[in-house]
Amino acid sequence: MPNAYEDNPSALNQVQSRAVSELLRVSPVADELARRFQEAGFSLALVGGSVRDALLGRLGNDLDFTTDARPEDVLKIMRPWADAVWEVGIAFGTVGGQKDARVGDVSQSFQIEVTTYRSEAYDRTSRKPEVSYGDSIEQDLVRRDFTVNAMAVALPEKEFIDPHGGLDDLAARVLRTPSTPEASFSDDPLRMMRAARFAAQLDFEVAPDVVAAMKAMSERIEIVSSERVRDELNKLVLSAHPRKGLTLLVDTGLADRVLPELPALRLERDEHHRHKDVYDHTLIVLEQAMALEEDGPDLTLRLAALLHDIGKPRTRRFEDDGRVSFHHHEVVGAKMTKKRMTELKYSNELVKDVSRLVELHLRFHGYGTGEWTDSAVRRYVRDAGPLLDRLHKLTRSDCTTRNKRKATALSRAYDGLEERIAQLQEQEELDAIRPDLDGNQIMEILGVAPGPVIGQAYKFLMELRLENGPMEHDTAVSALKEWWAAQD
């Protein structure tokens, strides 16, 4: 295969320079470990994503190695050397460890994984790969997912091993498979999702033959466990270019099998084009939400942006006047979000938070130009709870109109709502909003023992607090007694 750098040798020099610089940085750890393997009669090589990232100038402190040593031998070598060793992946030939070391004048902690040369394949009924060990690095590299991840650097001599043209593909920013795509995806169907994930993370294109195989084999993803699918989806959604990966999942039919609610948003437009393309709107909302992130990628916010309108296909109605409506799509969407995320084995907390944001994302549109009472503002804050900041971001992101006057009006209205929330928070401590009397006080005032009535009284006082704001103690006591008297 021709070298992609032949017309621009300076580019190759830059890549080599970056790689050398990155490898020199980790040499105190990598070379020391390699020498221990050599002394035990084994070889060791930096491999896969670590080599790719070194060539891209972005190698972190997570280092992946491959070796001809079997896992039990790897344990014997690493235990006396590493600061911590774990065997979580040992059934798949991987031993993990942590090594603290000084690099220059700085103490750093390295996360290390050493995997025995191997090959993996799925059968038609199993959700788990069958692992068999190999005896050569070439055999190991050919079973890797993509050529840019099928490069290695033998240690400590620093010999570059690239039997499948990964360096050229890295230069061309393209994802190809070392063997045929069909063989690669048969070995592990999750690699189809990994293609979309790497496209999103690295902003690479996927080779046409790889895309064709993804389309032809999309049903094979169903053999992969929900947990593995979820983890790949998270990495894609948290990437720098999630639209690119999500579009690939939809176009290849993979999304129909792992996140069918997304392609379902591609509603045909009505003849008068009276509603927006919900699918494209969703991807824009996701990107606009990303632009509002302050402390790095936010999975909760991004999933909420991606799923906020999934209730629209089920609620679409063509009204008599020609308009298109989606009444209560936020309620339907929240239920659909909970169902899909539960099937993908997300944590209960994340399912609850994302579903709540989907449910609340339309609430602001009742605000108009500021007609809400203070009571309505308090309820908005109470219902959002700790998700309020994310709800602000999601609501602002949900405006994708090209009508500048309308967009400006919506933005100003939300500015006004946030200002009112800030004023009430300063006056009333809205973040810790609670009734003016607690459970013990309620029992003492009413002279009753613990039981359902205490919860009912508490709920009454909470509604009173939301409606009127903070109350004087005596006023709250009088209101409670009046409520109690009316219960007879």
pLDDT at residue 8, as a whole number? 46
pLDDT at residue 288, as a whole number? 94
Burial class (CB in 10 A: 0-12, 13-18, 19+), 329: buried
The region of weakest confidence among 72-81, 396-405, 420-429 is: 420-429
CA–CA separation, 66 and 99 (whole Å): 17
Peptide bond into 263 cis (omega under 30): no
> At 38, is the pLDDT very low, low, confident or very high (cuts 50, 70, 90)?
very high
Using alpha carbons, select from 194, 138, 155, 180 the residue that is nearest to residue 26.
155
pLDDT at residue 2, as a whole number? 36
pLDDT at residue 477, as a whole number? 80
pLDDT at residue 272, as a whole number? 43
Which residues pair with residue 103 across a beta bridge? Answer: 106
Using alpha carbons, select from 416, 399, 413, 405 the residue that is nearest to residue 368.
413
Q: Which whole-number Å values give the CA distances from 32 to 28, 54, 99, 118, 315, in the listed order?
A: 6, 18, 11, 24, 62
**Is 378 a residue whose pLDDT tops 70?**
yes
Using alpha carbons, select from 269, 214, 213 the residue that is nearest to residue 247.
214
> At 141, is the pLDDT very low, low, confident or very high (cuts 50, 70, 90)?
very high
pLDDT at residue 444, as a whole number? 77
CA–CA separation, 462 and 457 (whole Å): 9
What does 138-195 look like in DSSP terms, one character per residue? HHHHHTSS-GGGS-EEEETTTEEE-TT-HHHHHHHTEE--SS-HHHHHHH-THHHHHH
**Is 171 a residue whose pLDDT tops 60?**
yes
**Is 9 a residue whose pLDDT tops 50?**
no
Q: Is the pTM of this model over 0.85?
A: no
Percentage, residues of the chain above pLDDT 70:
88
User: What is the pLDDT of the chain when averaged over all its residues?
Assistant: 85
Q: What is the mean pLDDT of residues 54-63?
A: 87
Tracing tokens 């230069």 back to the chain, one arrives at 171
What tokens does 240 get? 């720098």
CA–CA separation, 281 and 289 (whole Å): 12
The alpha carbon dihedral of 363, 368, 374, 376 has a sign of negative
Percentage, residues of the chain above pLDDT 90:
48
CA–CA separation, 30 and 369 (whole Å): 62
CA–CA separation, 110 and 195 (whole Å): 27
How many angstroms separate the first and last alpha carbons of the chain? 89
**Is 287 a residue whose pLDDT tops 60?**
yes
> At 358, is the pLDDT very low, low, confident or very high (cuts 50, 70, 90)?
very high
Per-residue pLDDT of 308-333, as tens digits, reads 999 998 888 877 777 777 878 888 99
Q: What is the mean pLDDT of residues 421-450?
A: 72
**Single-letter code of the amino acid located at 259:** L
The alpha carbon dihedral of 444, 449, 455, 459 has a sign of negative
pLDDT at residue 466, as a whole number? 73
Per-residue pLDDT of 80-136, as tens digits, reads 999 999 998 888 889 999 999 887 778 889 999 999 998 655 565 665 666 788 888
CA–CA separation, 265 and 481 (whole Å): 53
Using alpha carbons, select from 235, 383, 384 the residue that is nearest to residue 299.
235
Q: Which residue has the higher pLDDT, 245 or 442?
A: 245
pLDDT at residue 4, as a whole number? 39
Q: Which whole-number Å values give the CA distances from 385 to 243, 306, 332, 372, in the listed order?
A: 30, 21, 21, 18
The region of weakest confidence among 56-65, 190-199, 222-231 is: 56-65
**Is 432 a residue whose pLDDT tops 60?**
no
Which residues pair with residue 84 across a beta bridge? Answer: 98
Q: What is the mean pLDDT of residues 275-299?
A: 89
pLDDT at residue 390, as a whole number? 93
219: helix, strand or coil: helix
In terms of residues, how long is the chain? 488
> At 20, is the pLDDT very low, low, confident or very high (cuts 50, 70, 90)?
low
